[in-house]
Structure 1
Amino acid sequence: MEITLTIDGKEVLFKSNGAVAKRYMMQFQRDMLKDILSMGVTEKSFDKMSEGEKVKWMRDNIDFNMFYDIAWVFAKTANNEIKDPLSWLESFDEFPILDIIEPLQGLLEKTVSSKKK
Structure 2
Amino acid sequence: MEKTVMIDGKQVQFKSNGATPLKYKMQFRKDFFAEILKLHKLGKLKNLDEIDDDVLGTLDFEVFYNIAWTFAKTADSSLPDPETWLESFNEFPIFDFISELQEMIMANIQSKKK
Output the TM-score relative to the length of structure 1: 0.84
The equivalent residue for 1:10 is 10
In 2, the alpha carbon distance for the partners of 1:25 and 1:50 equals 29
The equivalent residue for 2:99 is 102
In 2, the alpha carbon distance for the partners of 1:73 and 1:98 equals 18
In 2, the alpha carbon distance for the partners of 1:102 and 1:34 equals 20
Q: Give the CA deviation at 1:35.
A: 1.2
Runs of 4+ aligned structure 1 residues displaced above 2 Å come to 38-41, 49-61
- Preserved contact between residue 21 and residue 31 of structure 1 (Cα < 8 Å): yes
Identity, % of aligned pairs? 46
In 1, the alpha carbon distance for the partners of 2:9 and 2:39 equals 30
Q: Which amino acid aligns with 2:110?
A: S
The equivalent residue for 2:90 is 93
The answer as to 2:71 corresponding to 1:80 is no
In 2, the alpha carbon distance for the partners of 1:52 and 1:14 equals 23
In 1, the alpha carbon distance for the partners of 2:40 and 2:4 equals 28
The equivalent residue for 1:55 is 51
Q: Give the CA deviation at 1:100.
A: 2.2
Q: Which moved more, 1:14-23 or 1:51-60?
A: 51-60
Q: Which amino acid aligns with 1:72?
A: W
In 1, the alpha carbon distance for the partners of 2:82 and 2:48 equals 31
Q: Any gaps of 5 or more consecutive residues in structure 2?
A: none
Q: Which amino acid aligns with 2:60?
A: D
Q: Give the CA deviation at 1:51.
A: 6.0
Call closer, same or farther: CA 1:85–1:116 in 2, change over 3 Å: same
Call closer, same or farther: CA 1:109–1:7 in 2, change over 3 Å: same
Q: Which amino acid aligns with 2:51?
A: V
- How large is the Cα RMSD of the aligned pairs? 2.3
Call closer, same or farther: CA 1:101–1:87 in 2, change over 3 Å: same
Q: Any gaps of 5 or more consecutive residues in structure 1?
A: none
Call closer, same or farther: CA 1:97–1:28 in 2, change over 3 Å: same
